[in-house]
Chains A and B, each alone.
Chain A
Amino acid sequence: MAKYTLNINGENHEVEADPSTPMLWVLRDHLNLVGTKYGCGIAQCGACTIHLEGTATRACMLTVASVGNQQITTIEGLSEEGDHPVQKAWLEVDVPQCGYCQAGQIMTAAALLDKNPNPTDNEIEMAMNGNICRCGTYTRIKKAVKLAASSK
């Protein structure tokens, strides 16, 4: 066990955990930030996507020991009121079915638009390819990413 001070969603959190613990479980079990989802544990599905210094990162493969003082943003901290342009676009297009993967999809999309405000269809597909949606809402996700891009 070791103690860590983590900067998550703009606030410092003290956590005591084994150094090998993935951030996914630190967020979910230690901090009750359960918007970040477990899907595969091997960085294949993207349900656990968070931002590490603004870059979309799979929390299931990111150990707590490797975070240091880098800033983490989770779905809970993407916006104060749930009104980030990507979240608004998701609601406007009414993307979700079961909804389980959508926090990860939104985090990947938000990181993409930060770096590339006007992505092509192909760039959207490539950036989002690591995020599985078992309900098959891909066409709506792409529509929502484009809507968010146009409204930014």
Chain B
Amino acid sequence: MSQQKNINTLGRRAFLRNSSLAGGGLILGFSWLNSCKPKQVTEAAVMEMPEEWFEINAYLKIGENGVATIYCPNPEFGQGVMTSMPMLVAEELDIAWEKVMVEMAPYDADIYGRQFTGGSQGIRTRWEGLRTVGASAKQMLKEAAATQWGVPVSEISTADGVLTHDPTGNTLGYGEVAAAAMDVAVPEEVTLKSPKEFKIISNSKKNVEGKKIVTGKPMFGVDYQYEGALVAMAAHPPAFGLKLKSFDATQAKSMPGIVDVFQIKTYAEDYQRNFFDTNAFTELVVVVGKSTWEVMNAKKKLDVQWEPFSDYEYTVDRFGNKSQVKVPGGLESTDAHHAKMEEMAAKPGQVVRKDGDPESAFKNAAKVIERSYTCPFLAHNCMEPMNFFAHVTDDGAKLAGPLQAPLLIEGAIAASLGLPPEKVDIEMTRMGGGFGRRAYSHYAIEAGLISKKVKAPVKLVYSREDDMTFGIYRPSYQATYRAALDENNNLVAFHVKAGGIPETPIFADRFPAGAVDNYMAEQWEHNSNITIGAFRAPRSNFMAGVEQAFLDEVAELAGKDPISFRLELLDKAMTNPVGENNDYEADRLAGVLELVRDKSDWGTEKQGVFRGVAAYFCHNTYAAHVIDVVKGNDGNPRVENAVCAMDCGIVVNPDAAANMCEGGIVDGVGNAMYGGLTFRDGATQQDNFDKYRIIRHSEAPKNIEVHFVQNEIDPTGLGEPPFPPVMGALANALYKAEGRRLYNQPFIADKPPIVG
């Protein structure tokens, strides 16, 4: 069904022109054109260049020749929004995709709303708004054509950027009426297409930045070019629990190419930190010079004294709710963390959900099984290390670089630089990965402070070692599960107790809650001074894997097929759910399990192939994987094949969506097998890729198949959901291959080693 949309519900400013984009007139704003050498501009490309652009709204301008530029509002870190979001606009605009060019929108939350990459919410939150933007522009073009022809607008149809007066067959290109359309009032209400009418949505379009990527064009923050820009690097404490005491810059300053060495304090004294201002090291020693290599060498010559700090607190503002963050002093270690996790797991936790009478059910059970699981801290290890460009003058600040959440840092930047927020201009560059790390962009403030101090444009660059040791990590978690079966092997009670350093990973209302009469979830937390934050599918990235590994063992104990066992539970959650707050739709979770079962030919045995299955719901999307492990000639297990079934509603860009799922599976296998950041005396024991193991070509699944449930439900996210259940499917397959269960990630650390 097509839908009526009143644009006033979507924020009217998006439908007006954005004065910061040069609207109308002659604009040659093609970033790709500017970055090409003249000989690389083909005649065809020049022919396509409009001589004049007509800005219809903040997302869209149309050239007199019918070419359109669509602005992508959300920052791009590889999830493909620069392609998929303009597809939504183009669909309703009714323009041929070949006539669309894409640029990143400027950062202006008043106009573009939630310019945030995280939580797999991009497409879900932009689905109505961006289509309405396209539909509203189309309506304005139709009205302009109706006026020109002197006919009723209802007699005009559109397709592929052409307006047709149906009774006479007269046509006009969008470019021919774009100027007149700028004077048409923005419609109050528009009609959106039904999914059956889609021509662009659900038809795969290639990455609009593909050509730039494969030819090495400057696009990332670290590539940012600016006349006279200096390079800066910063020294931070070598361990969590330490702070700056003093430093001697004499030798560093005398090194070739060095402009200045000084200290910065990241936050202004009276600044109220928000919940994304996570930052362990707020006093840094900065080296500024003419080139990266000179600055790297001078930084090694810094003589800095660090000292331990005592417990302290600061206030954090979370959407207006203020709370105290307590930071304990001390130098922590992974060994001590493990001991603490065992201690906490043995004690009662805080009960966050209880259904029925789990105590009695466990007491009266025919069989009880209990298992415990752990995972380590993880570093995000974005391939592009943290960096930011800043040029701060008395009049204002221009910043550019990789960040997922400009809205959450602009206040801190303004406060630290002593400028009103409207004087701070942030440009969102393409990010070389993010995975959550770049939602915490303290490095943008640091760049601003450095530029202000040296009174010059500056690019702050983290070395790989800086990046890995100044992290906002995935926490270390622990979970203990118990299940009770009756004499007929029915699951009658389920108990999960989970905690972490420093936060709990638990989701009390997630499957199998709702499918078991007697259910209890408990949580605990143990504080730490190691900074943690969002990492691809926060908390789910542990809970999914261990819950699905545990259910595999419960199914085995019950003598049931792992998929049939889960479907039985989901049938109960559908027909006779326990509790009212269950956060998943049981039929959709069952749906991906059934799809992966059918597509993987589950149940057919193959010699030497060891299979595991897992399914999970998070970030509004359903995922199920079957993973096949084989043993290589060297005896090492390797993922031969992965089959994935997803339900994210309508799939906007199917091939790119499959790419995202493939990457999620590789990432899941990699982190479950190899990932891990350990600590001794507060310092990470890994600081580069020689010690921190990242999955490589020869360790990745050989084949990955991705299948989507076909439906017409409004789309949900895909960046995170494929990732968490991978660890469970892999653990279950490795059990078949190795004959023993793996309870602690990374799996290569298990004894005796499963990988030689």
Tell me the complex Cα distance, A75–B293, Å: 21
In the complex, what residue of chain A is closest to B653 when comparing beta carbons?
A: A94
Chain A residues 17 to 52 lying within 8 A of chain B, measured CB to CB, are 17-18, 20-22, 25, 28-30, 32-42, 44-45, 47
Residues of B within 8 A of A130 (CB): 696
Residues of B within 8 A of A142 (CB): 697
Given contacts A18-B256, A29-B293, A128-B697, whether A100 and B384 have CB atoms under 8 Å apart is yes
Residue from the list A22, A99, A125 in contact with B293, Cβ < 8 A: A22
Given contacts A25-B293, A47-B383, A98-B77, whether A132 and B689 have CB atoms under 8 Å apart is yes
Tell me the complex Cα distance, A44–B381, Å: 13
A40 and B207 contacting across the interface, CB-CB below 8 Å: no
In whole Å, how far is B218's beta carbon from the nearest beta carbon of chain A? 5
Residue from the list A30, A82, A133 in contact with B211, Cβ < 8 A: A82
Residue B181 is within 8 A (CB to CB) of chain A in the complex: no
Residue from the list B433, B463, B660 in contact with A100, Cβ < 8 A: B433
Residue B46 is within 8 A (CB to CB) of chain A in the complex: no
B209 and A99 contacting across the interface, CB-CB below 8 Å: yes
Residues of B within 8 A of A91 (CB): 206, 210-211, 214
A134 and B700 contacting across the interface, CB-CB below 8 Å: no
B704 and A139 contacting across the interface, CB-CB below 8 Å: yes
The interface bits of chain A over 73-98 (1 if a CB of B lies within 8 angstroms of the residue's CB, else 0) are: 01110101110000100110011111
Chain B residues 651 to 665 lying within 8 A of chain A, measured CB to CB, are 655-656, 659-660, 662-665
B655 and A94 contacting across the interface, CB-CB below 8 Å: yes
In the complex, what residue of chain A is closest to B690 when comparing beta carbons?
A: A44
Main secondary structure of the interface of A (DSSP, over half): loop
Q: Which of B129-137, B219-227, B304-312, B473-481 makes up part of the contact surface? A: B219-227
The interface bits of chain B over 54-85 (1 if a CB of A lies within 8 angstroms of the residue's CB, else 0) are: 00000000000000000000000111100000
Residue A124 is within 8 A (CB to CB) of chain B in the complex: yes
Tell me the complex Cα distance, A94–B214, Å: 10
In whole Å, how far is A97's beta carbon from the nearest beta carbon of chain B? 4
In whole Å, how far is A100's beta carbon from the nearest beta carbon of chain B? 3
Residue from the list B78, B215, B688 in contact with A98, Cβ < 8 A: B78
Chain B residues 115 to 168 lying within 8 A of chain A, measured CB to CB, are none
Residues of B within 8 A of A39 (CB): 383-385, 464, 689
In whole Å, how far is A144's beta carbon from the nearest beta carbon of chain B? 10
Residue from the list A29, A33, A42, A78 in contact with B689, Cβ < 8 A: A42
B432 and A40 contacting across the interface, CB-CB below 8 Å: no
Residue B231 is within 8 A (CB to CB) of chain A in the complex: yes
In the complex, what residue of chain B is closest to A128 when comparing beta carbons?
A: B697
Residue B213 is within 8 A (CB to CB) of chain A in the complex: yes
Residues of A within 8 A of B209 (CB): 96, 99
Given contacts A100-B432, A135-B663, whether A76 and B383 have CB atoms under 8 Å apart is no
Residues of A within 8 A of B292 (CB): 25, 28-29, 38
Residue A7 is within 8 A (CB to CB) of chain B in the complex: no
Residue A138 is within 8 A (CB to CB) of chain B in the complex: yes
Residues of A within 8 A of B464 (CB): 39-42
Tell me the complex Cα distance, A61–B433, Å: 24
A32 and B689 contacting across the interface, CB-CB below 8 Å: no
In whole Å, how far is A116's beta carbon from the nearest beta carbon of chain B? 15
Given contacts A25-B292, A39-B464, A81-B40, whether A97 and B80 have CB atoms under 8 Å apart is yes
Given contacts A97-B80, A99-B213, whether A129 and B432 have CB atoms under 8 Å apart is no
B659 and A140 contacting across the interface, CB-CB below 8 Å: yes
Tell me the complex Cα distance, A80–B225, Å: 22
Residues of A within 8 A of B696 (CB): 129-130, 132, 138
In whole Å, how far is A41's beta carbon from the nearest beta carbon of chain B? 6
Residue A126 is within 8 A (CB to CB) of chain B in the complex: yes
In the complex, what residue of chain B is closest to A29 when comparing beta carbons?
A: B291
Residue A101 is within 8 A (CB to CB) of chain B in the complex: yes
In whole Å, how far is B639's beta carbon from the nearest beta carbon of chain A? 11
A94 and B210 contacting across the interface, CB-CB below 8 Å: yes
A99 and B219 contacting across the interface, CB-CB below 8 Å: yes
B293 and A94 contacting across the interface, CB-CB below 8 Å: no
Tell me the complex Cα distance, A22–B211, Å: 27
Residues of A within 8 A of B210 (CB): 90-91, 94, 96
A99 and B78 contacting across the interface, CB-CB below 8 Å: yes
Residues of B within 8 A of A21 (CB): 293
A136 and B670 contacting across the interface, CB-CB below 8 Å: yes
Tell me the complex Cα distance, A91–B385, Å: 25
Tell me the complex Cα distance, A99–B433, Å: 8
Tell me the complex Cα distance, A65–B213, Å: 30
In whole Å, how far is A119's beta carbon from the nearest beta carbon of chain B? 12
Tell me the complex Cα distance, A74–B215, Å: 10
Of B222, B381, B670, B689, chain A has the most CB atoms within 10 Å of the CB of: B689
A136 and B663 contacting across the interface, CB-CB below 8 Å: yes
In whole Å, how far is A145's beta carbon from the nearest beta carbon of chain B? 10
In whole Å, how far is B437's beta carbon from the nearest beta carbon of chain A? 11
In the complex, what residue of chain A is closest to B670 when comparing beta carbons?
A: A136
Residue A57 is within 8 A (CB to CB) of chain B in the complex: no
A136 and B664 contacting across the interface, CB-CB below 8 Å: yes
Residue B175 is within 8 A (CB to CB) of chain A in the complex: no
Tell me the complex Cα distance, A121–B620, Å: 37
In the complex, what residue of chain B is closest to A127 when comparing beta carbons?
A: B697
The interface bits of chain B over 82-126 (1 if a CB of A lies within 8 angstroms of the residue's CB, else 0) are: 000000000000000000000000000000000000000000000
In whole Å, how far is A18's beta carbon from the nearest beta carbon of chain B? 7
Given contacts A29-B231, A82-B215, whether A136 and B689 have CB atoms under 8 Å apart is no
Residue from the list B220, B294, B433, B667 in contact with A18, Cβ < 8 A: B294
In whole Å, how far is A101's beta carbon from the nearest beta carbon of chain B? 5
In whole Å, how far is B383's beta carbon from the nearest beta carbon of chain A? 4
Given contacts A39-B383, A90-B210, whether A136 and B662 have CB atoms under 8 Å apart is yes
Residues of A within 8 A of B746 (CB): none
B697 and A99 contacting across the interface, CB-CB below 8 Å: no
The interface bits of chain B over 692-720 (1 if a CB of A lies within 8 angstroms of the residue's CB, else 0) are: 00111110111110000000000000000
Residues of A within 8 A of B40 (CB): 80-82
In whole Å, how far is B241's beta carbon from the nearest beta carbon of chain A? 26
B383 and A94 contacting across the interface, CB-CB below 8 Å: no
Residue from the list A17, A22, A125, A141 in contact with B698, Cβ < 8 A: A125
Tell me the complex Cα distance, A44–B434, Å: 20
Tell me the complex Cα distance, A29–B291, Å: 6
Residue from the list A44, A45, A90, A136 in contact with B666, Cβ < 8 A: A136
Of A33, A106, A136, chain B has the most CB atoms within 10 Å of the CB of: A136
In whole Å, how far is B100's beta carbon from the nearest beta carbon of chain A? 17
Residue B680 is within 8 A (CB to CB) of chain A in the complex: no
B663 and A97 contacting across the interface, CB-CB below 8 Å: yes
Of B381, B383, B670, chain A has the most CB atoms within 10 Å of the CB of: B383
Tell me the complex Cα distance, A75–B576, Å: 60
Given contacts A25-B291, A29-B231, A35-B217, whether A94 and B666 have CB atoms under 8 Å apart is no
Given contacts A94-B210, A124-B697, whether A37 and B256 have CB atoms under 8 Å apart is no
Tell me the complex Cα distance, A29–B621, Å: 44
Residue from the list B220, B461, B662, B689 in contact with A140, Cβ < 8 A: B662
In the complex, what residue of chain A is closest to B430 when comparing beta carbons?
A: A99
Residue B169 is within 8 A (CB to CB) of chain A in the complex: no
Tell me the complex Cα distance, A133–B698, Å: 12
Tell me the complex Cα distance, A128–B225, Å: 30
Tell me the complex Cα distance, A94–B430, Å: 17
By Cβ-Cβ distance, the 8 closest A-B pairs, closest first, are A35-B216, A136-B666, A100-B432, A98-B78, A75-B216, A97-B78, A99-B213, A136-B663
A sample of 22 cross-chain residue pairs with beta-carbon separation below 8 angstroms, ordered by A number, consists of: A1-B256, A29-B291, A29-B293, A34-B216, A34-B225, A38-B222, A39-B464, A42-B690, A94-B656, A97-B78, A98-B78, A99-B219, A101-B432, A103-B216, A129-B696, A131-B697, A134-B382, A136-B667, A137-B666, A138-B697, A138-B700, A139-B662
Q: A17-B293, A29-B292, A103-B214 are in contact. List 9 more A-B contacts (CB 8 A).
A: A34-B222, A91-B211, A98-B78, A98-B434, A129-B696, A132-B696, A135-B433, A136-B664, A137-B659
Q: List chain A positions with a Cβ less than 8 A from chain B.
A: 1, 17-18, 20-22, 25, 28-30, 32-42, 44-45, 47, 74-76, 78, 80-82, 87, 90-91, 94-103, 106, 121, 124-126, 128-142
